[in-house]
Amino acid sequence: MTNVIESFLRTEYKYRMNRAQVREFMDRAGDRLVPDVYHQYTVYNVYCDTADDRMVINSLEHPEYKEKMRIRSYVEPAEGTPVFLEIKKKYNGLTGKRRITLGEQDAYRYMTDGTRPDIHTQIADELDYSVRRYKPAMKVYASYDRTCWKSVSEDDVRVTFDENILYRTSDISLHPNGREQRLIDEDTVLLEIKASDRCPMWLTDILSEMGLKRTSFSKYGSIYKNIMGQQISRNIIPAYDTETYRTDRRTTVCSAQY
């Protein structure tokens, strides 16, 4: 993979839409948006977290600072395909990502037994600090289909549409196995506007005219809530204990693709 971006800082704006709204949005945008270099692809993720799910629970509390760790690939990996290990942090409305490229099995070993890959850079050292701090395990597989557009007038603006979000919580790897569950219905699409500074006015106008409201939708957070809801429905976690369960856990905390 060429031109790999290992670190960046940006703002991200998220909106839930249906497919009819996607068509209207693109009609309104007209020739202001053109296909990105990597226009359509599937994103494969393995979300990693502590044994007590500390990272996702903290994120769901909507704190000023939050972070998550994942293994990611923009193709289903084959032998020799490099993947990303990355940590994504959000603070005061800004999202930062730091990542390294390594082999798929090396990434799994790192998350499974802490065997650090033979990469010695500042970013690798930062990631290793987080691995030693959180001792993360591979918790959730998630994949989704992405269409990516770029602004003609702003070099830093990208618009992506994510759909067909699937996940599973067993046999975790970057590979689908047919046992995935759907996170959102087939008509729902997640729009993300990614910019180094602010959403341009012409995009803001389109969103306002369509009556679209920003959302804090998190794929991993939404998957976690689904899992908890399913456990409650199966009486694994009694419904009357969910607040206590959440509070107790909280007290333990005191490439060119986008």
Decide which of 240 and 130 is more confident. 130
Dist. CA 99–CA 120, nearest whole Å: 13
Q: Would you state the pLDDT for residue 3?
A: 58
State phi, psi for 47 to the nearest 5 degrees. Answer: -85, 135
- Sign, CA dihedral 146-152-154-155, equals positive
Residue whose structure tokens are 């007290």: 251
Residue 96: strand pairing partners? 9, 89
pLDDT at 237 (0 to 100): 58
Query: How open is the CA angle 188-98-6, to the nearest 5 degrees?
Result: 95
Give the pTM: 0.87
178-234: per-residue pLDDT in tens? 999 999 999 999 999 999 888 999 999 999 999 999 998 999 999 999 999 888 877
